Structures are given as C-alpha cells and as structure tokens.
Structure 1
C-alpha cells in the first residue's frame, strides 16, 4: 500500500545527521500549503518565465499543472472550488450571486464561456497561476481542467477553418515594465513561457490599442506588442478562436504555459516595441536539453 507523507521539517543535528520530520497524510487534497509559493519565493506575480534562468521552477510548475490535468473531475473538487471562490468574495454580494449561478448551472462545455465573463473565475484563475500559490491552484483544479480540455476540443475545428494554413501570426498588445522588456531584449534566442492562459488576436490593430500605442501613464512602462509565429502543426499547447463566445472579437485563447523562442525585438517610430516570438514544439532540440535530466 502506498502512503503519502508531508515533510514538516528538515534539520541538521550536532552529529551531522539530517533529521526529517514527516506527517502521514490520509487525503492529499487536505494538505494546506498556505498562501505561499515554492515557485516564486517573493510572492510576485509571474507572467513570463525565462527558462534559461528559471528551469527548475518552470519544470516544477509544469509538473504540477500536468498532474492536475490528469485528475478525475469529482464533486469534491467542484465543492472545493466553490468554497475557495466564496472565501475570496465573501464581502461582494454581486460576485456571490455569480458563484451561486455557477454552482447551479455550470457545465463543462461552458468553461470557455465563463472565462470570457468579467467575473470571479477569470480573476482568481489567472491570479492563482501568476502567483503560483499551490493552495490556490489546487483549489482551482476543477475549472482549470475544464478550460484546458475544452480548448483542446475546439483546437481541431479552428485549425480546419484555416484551410491548410500552416503558419499563423498572432498579436498581443500590453504595457510592460521597462526592466522586463530589457530582460527580454537581453535573452534573444532563449525560451520564455507564459504562466497563465494567454489571449491573442489575429488583428494587429487590436493589439496596438491594447498596447497603449506608445502612450503610457506610467513612465516606467512601455507599449509592447508580441508578434507570435505559430506553426499550426504544433499541438503541444491547446489554443482556439473563441469568437463564438465573444462575437465582437477575434480572440485566440491559449491554455497554460505555451513556450516561445524570443527571436528579436524591434522598435517602431511611435515608441511601440515589437517582440517577435516563435512557438516551440515540446520535442524541439533545445527543449530536450532543458528537460533532459527528467528522462
């Protein structure tokens, strides 16, 4: 019989012997990891992870997500999600009403539709993934599973709608701290991974608007547009157009953790920086080097 133990403490005694204190756990989901992250020690929100410098954290985070996506959907996991959401919005009657609506009416094929709503699910999901707080991610597992798998289901029909197009260019506009852009510029040729679900568009002008078009209210921020080259034969991270859920937009939604190679950074005349990215297949030679110690 397999047993699960939680490591409570590790100490080196005066005889140079390591003492490891363990606690037997009856139910792994009853473990409370607290509001801390083993992946982001400072508790900062991580939108981009530079894999050449943060390999161990990235691999550990990805293994956690892979584990969650292998779990069965249960009433327990849904109830835990509801309890978590209610605890975060206990003083917000509007969101509490939406949580009740989710409890009564949600079905798995509504996952992406709920993601597009401006409500508790979208905010808690991406906050949990960006802060990498294990407790929060585990409690969100019911919904994470559904969004990921619905995108995987929608991906095939989206690829078919491209009528044989194998190279797809997508754009994402946003403001970014100058030091983060400098870090990207200094790491051309290396990998980055996007921590949370990622929205992009086929319409360049839409991305320009979201970037601020060269005008930012914060002097420490700049306008950035990701220009992403997607080989449609790559299926390592599910993605699909979600226009049927938001008819007025041409939004493409990626599941968690797409991996890109930074090709180069170009500056435009209107103070917008274009970061050229290429989506990477998990069997890419450099990816194999990154994870070879796991084999």
Structure 2
C-alpha cells in the first residue's frame, strides 16, 4: 500500500520524494502485461519454488501438473502457497521472486480484465460500494489523517466484499493489536470510470459462497472522509473513491515515472528506474538475477555494464566491471 500526498502528486523534480513501491509497481505492472510467457515459465517457477521451499512438495507438484486445468483466480483463492507468495512478492518487490512469478501475475490480471469486460453491462452504469477490512500501522494511519486529497494505491491484487459485516470482522480483529489501527475501507466504485479492471469472482473462486470483488494490482483510490467507529481510537472507517486513469494529476505523475524509467523493453525499464531513483541495491539484485537467466550475449553485456555503473555510483571502485 502506498500513499501519495497532494505535494507528492505534483510533478516533483526528483522522484526520490515518492514512495518507491508506487513507482516500482507502476512500471512492473506495465512490464508484466507486455511480456509473453510460454509453458517453460511454469516449469521455471516451480523449480524456483522447490529450491526455496515456497510450499509443500505436494502443492508445488499439483500447481505444475494441473495449472491449466483451473483458472488463475481459482489458484489465487485456493488454500495453497500461491496467495501468500504473491502478496509477499508484491510487498517486497524481491527481484528473483518477481521475475519467476511474472507469468502468474500476467495471467491473473488477464482473467480479471476478461471478466470485467463480460460483467460491465450488469452494473447498468450504477455506482456501487465494496468494503475491505484490514489493519494499518499507526504511523501510516497518522500520515493518512494529516493529508487532504491523498491518493492511495493498493500495490497487490485487492480483495473486497460487497458485504460490510464480513469486512468489519477483519477490521475489528486488526484493532486488537495495540500497534495497529483497524480500518474499514468503504469504496465507491463507478463502473463507468476507466481504471484498473475489477470483477466479481464468485463463480470462479475456490470459495463460491463469498461475494468477492477482486481488483487487479496497483489500483488507485482518492481518500475521502475518515471517521472513528469506536471510543478507543482503534477502529476507523475510511471512504475511498476509485480514481480514473484519466485523472490529470495521476496521469502526469505516471508519465513522469515512465520518462524516468527510460526507453527499452521489459526489465530494462525497471532497472533504469531503480538506478535513476538511487535504489542501487535493488537494481543490483535485479541485474544479477537477469544475468543468471539469460543466454543472450548482448543482454549479458548490458547487464554487466549496468552492474559496473551501479558499483561506480556506490563508490565501490574495486568491483567496477
């Protein structure tokens, strides 16, 4: 989750002023959706999972052998390692995991987009409300309270419910932690707004009985009223409104991030963005992973060149290639 204050939304001279995760997920999303994957991507992913104990051997084997017998949404909602691994990946932005899991993120987004197109007519152009209950650190909540017109980006795939009582249970549970604030997000969704796709997944989910609306990653909302729901200042309702892709402030900021990432294709853009914003350790991790996976000599030359540049910027001259 990333916050963008009014001051940050204005085009900054230096993108270092922005929360890094907002920039990374913006470019990462575009990279993933542009890339093409084949069957080898699944094999590569499951090999990675076995090497890093990402799940039980049984679950990993099942995913490898039966992936195409179920939908990406089914795998995402099933009680397996995929859900927790995906959330960790999008939260940590760890290069190795991101690259190996890219095909699934691509497939999950594509299915949500397909369902969104199919279901569009069922909304009858009427706005509706969905809810999400979760915890927020007190530091993050204080930042949210102090800003007006904040943009809030959910960097992962966002699960919401049309039932307020279900979401309120999660918010109440989070409020029991003294270091957290329980938040009930009340989200106003205008289906006519051009935004990241969302869809009802009731008939595709592992749990058919849940009335869940799933949003694709990096969905952006504008924050509205914040109201207390208890006397202990531990539970709050936060109103959100889905932001259009045509929102002028957001579009200008997105264009600025793309400009900083530079040209090129695929992972080159993310690497450029990491370097330009001074995230040298993350950039180094990304290029080392790409070096291990590429057989293209031209690609290797580029990655070595970038690693040399990173070491030079860090002042580690002995390791400059």
Is structure 2 residue 39 aligned with structure 1 residue 75?
yes
Number of aligned positions between the proteins: 244
Q: Between 257-266 and 227-236, report the one with greater CA deviation.
A: 227-236
Partner in structure 2 of residue 221 of structure 1: 180
Q: Could you list the runs of 5+ residues in structure 2 that have no partner in the other structure?
A: 9-16, 260-321
User: Which residue does 2:30 correspond to in 1?
Assistant: 66
* SS of equivalent residue, structure 1 residue 212: helix
Q: Which has the higher contact order (CA 8 A, sep 6+)?
A: 2
Q: Provide the secondary structure at the position in 1 that maps to 2:71.
A: helix
CA gap 1:85/1:63 in 2 versus in 1, 3 angstroms: same
Change (3 A) 1:160 1:223: same
- Where 2:181 maps in the other structure, the secondary structure is strand
Q: Deviations over 1:77-112 (max 9, x none)?
A: 22221112222327x6xx211111111111186100
TM-score (norm. length: structure 1): 0.76
Q: CA deviation at 1:206?
A: 0.9
Q: How many angstroms apart in 1 are the aligned matches of 2:97 and 2:59?
A: 19
Aligned to 2:158: 198
- 2:144–2:150: 8 Å Cα contact kept in structure 1? no
| Counterparts of residues 151-190 of structure 1 (less than 5 Å) | 151-162=112-123, 164-190=124-150
Q: Which residue of 1 aligns with 2:235?
A: 272
Please say if 1:143 is aligned against 2:104.
yes
Q: Which ranges in structure 1 are unaligned for 5 or more consecutive residues?
A: 1-46
Higher strand share: 1
Alignment correspondent of 1:6: none
The CA distance in 1 between the partners of 2:237 and 2:104, in whole Å, is 33
Runs of 4+, deviation exceeding 4 Å: none
* Structure with greater proportional helix content: 2
1:291 aligned residue: 254
The alignment's TM-score, normalised by the length of structure 2, stands at 0.70
